[in-house]
Amino acid sequence: QAVVGFSSADLEKPLTARSRVIFRRDESDKLVYEFQFSAIDGETLNAVFRRRTAARVKPPEVVGVTVRTGYDDASAGTSSVLNDVSLTGLSISLGSQGETLLHDKERLLLSFKLPGQDKPIELVGIVRYRRMAGTMIRYGIEYDPKGTRDYSSQEERLASYMVKRKIESVQQTLGTRAA
């Protein structure tokens, strides 16, 4: 048994994970270990280190996202709130009732209308992480271009919105400096 510690400027506090050494190699100037992490700690490490690297934007107002299990899902869907969006994925938050319905789903159909756009965006997404954020559950979702109908059109509208938000953000920053 071993406890491995991780620290980084991006982490609020150091993170430790339980593991066991599965391989050790002696090199001339160092020892090299391979670890196998416990299931729960491995999941936590995966969530911490597999973060999106694409630029994200946050909508200036609340954007509701309807979540279904697929195009053939005729239910009213589960309500959630958009946290941020990028060209490769998005983050949503939902309450415990929504989590009860979606906790075992890996693929979701997301439908939402971005501010200033007439038509809703509908994307299929793959759940990459779920984690508690206060009283809500935050989902990190990567888009599935192959599973999404008319993906290129959806992607174009996302890109247009992101450019608009980036420009607004820069203008707001410049306006704040001038004041």
- What percent of the chain is modeled with pLDDT above 90? 47
Angstrom CA distances, 67 to 49, 54, 58, 171, stand at 26, 22, 19, 33
Q: What is the pTM of this model?
A: 0.67
List b or e across 111-128, with b for residues whose CB sees 16 or more CB atoms inside 10 angstroms: ebebeeeeeebbbbbebb
pLDDT at 47: 66
93-115 pLDDT, tens digit per residue, is 999 888 888 988 999 999 999 99
pLDDT in tens, 75-86: 889 999 999 999
Q: In the structure, what pLDDT confidence band is assigned to residue 52 with cuts at 50, 70 and 90?
A: low
Tokens of 157: 């509208």
| pLDDT value for 73 | 83
Q: How many Å apart are CA 130 and CA 106, to the nearest integer?
A: 10
Indicate the SS3 state at residue 30. Answer: coil
Q: Determine the distance from the C-alpha atom of residue 169 to the mean position of all C-alpha atoms in its chain, rounded to a whole number.
A: 21
pLDDT of residue 50: 64
